[in-house]
Structure 1
Amino acid sequence: MTENAVTENAVTENAVTEPVARLRTLRSVALRTPDAKRAAEFYDGVWGLDPVEEDGDVTWLRGTGPEHHILEVREADRNGLGKIAFSVATPREVDEAARRLTGLGVPLVAEPGRLDQAGGGYGLRFTDPENRLIELSADVEAVTPRDPGGQDAVPRKLAHVVLNTVDIDAACAFYTTVLGMRISDWSEHQMAFLRCNADHHVIAFNQAEWASVNHVAYEMPSVDHFMRGIGRLRHEGITPLWGPGRHGPGNNTFSYFADPAGLVCEYTSDVAQVDEDTWLCRVWRRVPELSDLWGTAGPPSKDVRRHMAGVPDPGGWWER
């Protein structure tokens, strides 16, 4: 039996009375790729992020907000997910999360302690049932918000990451019961949109043949910034794979592109805000008029779906 199967069974057999922590935000995502240098240059020179640190084959990049970095790009032998980092309020919550994870039989990849990485902080790491590396952290260095007037058409924060999964029900069960996330909406039984704060979703799962990164989305301050960002990329000779348009679930604008490594990145804005007291989760039909409310993008092409399928990602890179 694999370690992730052990983790899944352990969580199932141990009653989860409350989540291991209260997640505040989606802090950052790390991507692994054989084209890390070219990818970092794209996210810096074209996409609109700013490098904050570089160490050999790793680059950390920020948006215009106060988060130290929202993207880490690391050299690897294949495209894949490095990790997903969520913020919690205090180091004490990190320690409590470790105790609860251990009680659930979820092995820790890194015990609570100072994080030896760009931005520092205090945190821990563990894996989900499909061997994705998850980090919970507090006290990470902040940076001064850039362009407080919001004139530049560049991302301010990480909006969400969509993950392909071979078992959408198991993925949702883990992220809701263990991490306390809430399901905002379903797209039939093909996609689930999960939140940890008022944003409609910070994680979404897509039922697929293998586990992989589907895409990473970056939030623009407004629809105007969103459209001007698309225009800037067009001037660079880069056209959308799909979009612009507006999704039904989440009501957010979308325009998808491929970075030099073939990983899919998205500009988005106007993400729906959830009132916990009144929001009702609904199941959306998977029809073109709901995948794009504007009707400007049409359905995703086979090329878009191929890019979003990615390559099989078994995780476990930290053990190699």
Structure 2
Amino acid sequence: MPEHHPPIARLRSLRSVALRTTHCAESAEFYHEVWGLRPVEQEHGATWLRGTGPEHHVLQLQQAAQNALGKIVFSVATPAEVDEAARRLDAHGIALVTEPGKLDQVGGGYGLRFGDPEGRLVELTADVEAVVPDDPDGHPAVPRKLAHVVLNTADIDTVCEFYTRVLGMRVSDWSEHQMAFLRCNSDHHVIAFNQAPFPSVNHVAYEMPSIDHFMRGIGRLRHHGITPLWGPGRHGPGNNTFSYFADPGGLVCEYTSEVEQVVEDAWLCRVWRRTPELSDLWGTAGPPSKDVRTHMAGVPDPGYTAWWYG
């Protein structure tokens, strides 16, 4: 019987996502001027942007030859937990990409990095620089935080096993055997995996403070001549509102609100059928079009080893 090792850490939240994009400058302008995020730093073909919440930044954009995931960043409570995560990763037989220590990057912090089974770069951080919240429940229709990241996978069972066994995440729901929704806190999901021919970025979702902010955000994009690829509507799994758009690089971004909150001791994982009635409970969006499916399919992501070491 294989030796059992505990999860490497208690993940507190999804902190940020880094995206590699063929249109960094145009996308940075879009996420600031249209989407509502605020730049906190720009350097060497990269931009870091924040929401109205307390995270230093929620999105990093990096100029690249093709669209890809840069990294996913989760928070842990203390540097000591980062050090313990390193010891437990070793027990799991998982090599570190970056040893525990102070991070020489925008926002600073103390952290480490490692790869998942399909070559995605995962970062755990503590002690990231504090910022003053920008009135996250105020009137402006702008995102307050990163809600979730959805990733396409060529092997949904392997990645789900890794993120639950190694990272201690829990599966909240399944959409048949096509999508898995995983949580690390009370939010229904902070990451989801979609079975596909190859690994790639499906979409990134940003949480609005309320359904009113959600609708007014959609209105602002319409004012800029940008209409949804899909939505507005309300999903079955997660019970969250949705409206999907494409950024200038072709990556899909989502406004969402009212994400279902999980009570750990009472929650029962469900398997949802993949029907229009369950993918959109309101019945306003209809099934996703071929265009939105093409955008969400993305392009094959070779993983961090294609650029991190060279």
**What range is the shorter-chain TM-score in?**
over 0.9
The structural deviation recorded for 1:147 is 2.5
Residue equivalent to 1:74: 62
Pick closer, same or farther for the CA change 1:144–1:80 going to 2, 3 Å. same
Asked if 2 retains the 8 angstrom alpha-carbon contact of 1:16 and 1:178, the reply is no
CA distance in 2, matches of 1:88, 1:68: 15
CA distance in 2, matches of 1:245, 1:148: 23
Unaligned regions of 5+ residues in structure 1, if any?
1-12
Q: 1:185 aligns with which of 155, 158, 173?
A: 173
Question: Is residue 214 of structure 2 the alignment partner of residue 226 of structure 1?
Answer: yes
Asked if 1 retains the 8 angstrom alpha-carbon contact of 2:136 and 2:144, the reply is no
Give the residue type in structure 1 aligned to 2:157.
D
What is the DSSP-based 3-state SS (H/G/I as helix, E as strand, rest coil) of the residue aligned with 1:250? Answer: coil
Moved over 2 A (4+): 13-17
Larger CA deviation: 144-153 vs 123-132: 144-153
CA distance in 2, matches of 1:149, 1:78: 36
Asked if 1 retains the 8 angstrom alpha-carbon contact of 2:233 and 2:282, the reply is yes
Once the two structures are superposed, residues 230-267 of structure 1 have per-residue CA deviations (whole angstroms, 9 ceiling, x without a partner) of 00000000000000000000000000000000000000
Alignment: residue pair count: 308
Asked if 2 retains the 8 angstrom alpha-carbon contact of 1:16 and 1:177, the reply is no
Residue equivalent to 2:192: 204
Residue equivalent to 2:98: 110
Residue equivalent to 1:5: none
CA distance in 2, matches of 1:57, 1:283: 42
Q: 1:57 aligns with which of 36, 45, 62?
A: 45
CA distance in 1, matches of 2:3, 2:107: 35
Once the two structures are superposed, residues 143-179 of structure 1 have per-residue CA deviations (whole angstroms, 9 ceiling, x without a partner) of 1000254111000000000000000000100000000
1:1-320 correspondence to structure 2 within 5 Å: 15-315=3-303, 316=305, 317-320=307-310
Give the residue type in structure 2 aligned to 1:68.
H
CA distance in 1, matches of 2:103, 2:30: 27
TM-score computed with the length of structure 1 as normaliser: 0.95
TM-score computed with the length of structure 2 as normaliser: 0.98
Give the residue type in structure 2 aligned to 1:120.
G
Give the residue type in structure 1 aligned to 2:291.
D
CA distance in 1, matches of 2:62, 2:130: 21
What is the DSSP-based 3-state SS (H/G/I as helix, E as strand, rest coil) of the residue aligned with 1:15? Answer: coil
